[in-house]
Amino acid sequence: MATQGNPKIRIAHATPLGDAARLLRLERVDGAEIGFAGGQYVIINTGVTLPGGRLAKRAYSMLSSDAEQRAVEIAVKRVGAGPGSNVLNDIAVGAELEWSGPWGKLRLAPGFSGRALVIATDTGITAALGIARSAAAAGAAQLDLLWLVEPGETFASEPFVRERLPAAVRLAVARDLPPIGHPERPARACAFVERELAAGPHDAVLCAGDGAILYPLRDHLVSLGAPEGSVLLESFFNNPAKKSL
């Protein structure tokens, strides 16, 4: 079980990813296992103090296979002057940071044997990769991955994603998603997903990325007959649930 008192993690390796991102390999300083399932995330304390005195703690999905538990990979996109993303894009290999986790329920249940659809927008592809590479996904009858992304997005390339997917996973990439915040974004995403559903029903749908898309998409899937509990979401940004608090 995750606790707030986890030992520190160490940056074991770092490599550039795309034009403005970094792939980091993390390991616990004490050498113990992380204990995560594909689709979960960790929260990293970057050590930066924000206005008001809060620490900049950021959540990152683990995109590596959960068959390896002593080290994990995360991808960090540099977001403007964002303090958390800039620290992790510049931090030295060997540095140690506080963290907590693993957290999150966006994962296939152990023993899942049906057909699953994983939908990722934007940087949500990291969670999608973790799900697709998980032990639970290996037992699925079929796993389809749909990645919705803007034409000029350079966070992760399609070859990067394909190289990390098991051969049995079917990947479809829609690279003409309108920009974040565009009013037509949710409708366009629903249209992409409808085309994907034309191939047949799925027993589970897992979605990660832009909350402004994912919540309308869940409602749309339910209107098409998907059992409400079968559609799971993880908002990376634009989370309406947090805005309402």
Average pLDDT score over residue span 108-122: 93
- By C-alpha distance, which of 131, 129, 152, 153 is closest to 140? 131
Q: Which domains does the chain have, with CATH numbers?
A: 9-103 (2.40.30.10), 115-243 (3.40.50.80)
Beta-bridge mates of residue 195: none
Q: How high is the pLDDT of residue 4?
A: 47
Q: How high is the pLDDT of residue 1?
A: 39
Q: How high is the pLDDT of residue 180?
A: 92
pLDDT one-digit tens code per residue, 3-20: 445 789 999 999 999 878
Average pLDDT score over residue span 193-201: 83
Is pLDDT at 142 greater than 90 in this prediction?
yes
Residue with tokens 């908002």: 235
Residue 154 near residue 238, CB atoms below 8 Å:
no
Residue 116 near residue 108, CB atoms below 8 Å:
yes
Average pLDDT score over residue span 165-180: 93
